[in-house]
């Protein structure tokens, strides 16, 4: 395993990051099986695990914490805050009030005294980023958090956060966690160049495009429904429309292209994300051991310039085929901010 440096932190992480969203009620309910998947990933050289408080209502953090007990120092442990954790309107967002509570709850569920990377799960338009950074700065000074990052922030919000950190002399976001895959390449136009400009690490989520790049799609063959399809429908990432049709057509072409180059589409999709010079580590989210095993070979795959050019012909650089895959609606486009 060839490890990479996370931004300018000096911390070395594996090119694959084990995402834990599928551990618990949202995916695999068997805690022992989830632990086996985590241990297999660690044994394969993956030293980076990412979860979030909201995943299965905290159950994912509990599973991860139990599984790494006794191996905690082997793991660069990341989790996130922001998404609602109940009906109370203050148990969400990026305010100081919620952050100081959320971190204690995550530490308890993870069974650890520190979180290596604590990330804002989404931007919070109701809260000044300076308040968020000041609260996170206090957590770093207290030793409860070592580094802080963002997730699914648009480029301009990343820049503002960097400027705010400089103005307030607080900790800064050392990495960004965006959606990125062959079918969702919009961040190539702005977010990835901005991350490189500020020396931030990039740890993309959904490099398999929510299962579209798992090899399920073949021309003339209707794929069997999967657990991931249910998740996509629930999150709005699988809404009917021209974007979804374009994704399926592209996935079929990409499957044929991978086969012609003696690769699985999973290997090609993950290697494509890892090939970008701004990317540090790609987050994989297996629900089963079989899914994990199918992805472990990706860091050893090298894509030729010819193959990358052919991928560009199917999905041009900077193109996102379905806008739902951006997973963030700019506040200016919400109904109450429109010009009507």
So which residues are the catalytic ones?
A: 55
Radius of gyration, CA atoms only, the chain: 19
Residue with tokens 């890892």: 274
HSE-CB at 44 with a 13 A cutoff on CA atoms is: 23
Cα–Cα distance measured from residue 283 to residue 277, given in angstroms and rounded to the nearest whole number: 16
Cα–Cα distance measured from residue 160 to residue 194, given in angstroms and rounded to the nearest whole number: 11
HEC assignment per residue over 14-38: CCEEEECCCECCCCECCHHHHHHHH
């Amino acid at each position: 395993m060839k490890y990479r440096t996370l931004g300018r932190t000096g911390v070395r992480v594996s090119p694959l990051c084990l995402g834990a969203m599928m551990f618990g009620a949202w995916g695999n309910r068997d805690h022992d099986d989830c632990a086996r998947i985590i241990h297999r990933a660690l044994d394969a050289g993956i030293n980076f695990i990412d979860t979030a408080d909201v995943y299965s209502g905290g159950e994912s953090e509990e599973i991860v914490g139990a599984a790494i007990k006794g191996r905690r120092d082997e793991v660069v442990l990341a989790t996130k805050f922001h998404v609602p954790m109940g009906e109370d309107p203050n148990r969400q967002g990026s305010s100081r009030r919620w952050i100081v509570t959320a971190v204690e709850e995550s530490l308890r569920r993870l069974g650890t005294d520190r979180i290596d990377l604590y990330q804002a799960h989404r931007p919070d338009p109701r809260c000044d980023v300076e308040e968020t950074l000041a609260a996170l700065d206090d957590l770093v000074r207290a030793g409860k958090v070592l580094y802080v990052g963002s997730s699914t922030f648009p480029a301009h919000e990343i820049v503002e956060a960097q400027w705010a950190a400089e103005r307030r002399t607080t900790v800064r976001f050392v990495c960004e966690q965006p959606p990125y895959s062959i079918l969702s390449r919009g961040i190539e136009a702005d977010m990835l160049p901005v991350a490189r400009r500020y020396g931030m690490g990039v740890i993309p989520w959904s490099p398999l495009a929510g299962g579209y790049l798992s090899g399920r799609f073949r021309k003339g063959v209707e794929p069997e429904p999967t657990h991931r399809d249910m998740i996509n429908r629930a999150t709005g990432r699988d809404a009917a429309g021209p974007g979804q049709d374009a994704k399926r057509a592209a996935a079929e072409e990409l499957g044929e292209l991978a086969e012609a180059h003696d690769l699985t589409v999973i290997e090609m999709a993950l290697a494509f994300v890892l090939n970008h010079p701004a990317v540090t580590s790609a987050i994989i989210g297996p629900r089963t051991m079989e899914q994990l095993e199918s992805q472990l070979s990706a860091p050893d795959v090298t894509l030729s310039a010819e193959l990358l050019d052919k991928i560009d012909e199917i999905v041009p650089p900077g193109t996102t085929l379905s806008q739902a895959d951006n997973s963030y609606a700019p506040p200016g486009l919400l109904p109450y901010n429109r010009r009507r």
